[in-house]
Chain A
Amino acid sequence: MNVPRIVKTFANKTYELANKPGKMMLFVGATGWVLSSIAQVTAVVINKQIPDDQKKFLIPQEMSDACVNILSFILFTSKATSFGEGFVKRGKLATPTIKKFIMDNKLAEKVGQKSFDIKGESVFKNNPKFQEEYYKFADGVSFVSSVAGSIISCNIVTPLIRNKIASHFQKASLAREKELNQQKDTVITPQAPGVSAQNKPSVNNYKSATMNMPKGSLKI
Chain B
Amino acid sequence: MIKLTDKIVNLIPKREFKGGRGERFVHWFGENISTPENRLIIGVTALMTQPFIDLYNKDVDEKTQKVSFARTVGRIIAGTTSGFLVRKGCIKLVEKYSQRTDKPAKAIMKIFTPPKALEGMNFTYKQYQKSMGMLLAIVALIFTNFAFDVPVTNFITNAIMKKIDKKPDKKSGGAK
Contact = CB atoms under 8 A, between A and B. Distances in A.
Interface of A: 1-3, 7-8, 11-12, 14-19, 21, 24-25, 28, 31-32, 35-36, 38-40, 42-44, 46-47, 49-51, 53-54, 57-58, 61, 79, 82-83, 86-87, 90-96, 99, 111-112, 114, 128, 131-132, 135-144, 146-147, 150-151, 154-156, 159-160, 163-164, 167, 170
Nearest to A8: B115
A147 B41 contact: yes
Contacts of A155: 42, 45-46, 48-50
Given A8-B115, A128-B118, A132-B121, A36 B149 contact: yes
B85 interface: no
Contacts of B158: 47, 49
B75 interface: yes
Given A15-B114, A16-B116, A53-B64, 14 more contacts: A21-B34, A21-B131, A39-B150, A49-B161, A58-B68, A87-B12, A92-B9, A132-B124, A139-B30, A139-B127, A140-B30, A156-B53, A163-B54, A163-B60
Interface string B65-81: 00110011001000100
B123 A28 contact: no
Given A1-B108, A96-B16, A163-B57, A43 B50 contact: no
Contact of B10 (A112, A139, A144): A112
A170 B60 contact: yes
A57 B60 contact: yes
A159 B71 contact: no
B18 interface: yes
Interface in B113-130: 113-118, 120-125, 127-128, 130
B14 A86 contact: no
Nearest to A146: B38
Nearest to B4: A79
A1 B170 CA distance: 68
A128 B121 contact: yes
Interface of B: 2, 5-6, 8-10, 12-19, 23, 25-31, 33-35, 38, 41-42, 45-46, 48-50, 53-54, 57, 59-60, 63-64, 67-68, 71-72, 75, 79, 83, 98, 106-108, 110-118, 120-125, 127-128, 130-132, 134-135, 137-138, 141-142, 145-146, 149-150, 153-154, 157-158, 161
B83 A32 contact: yes
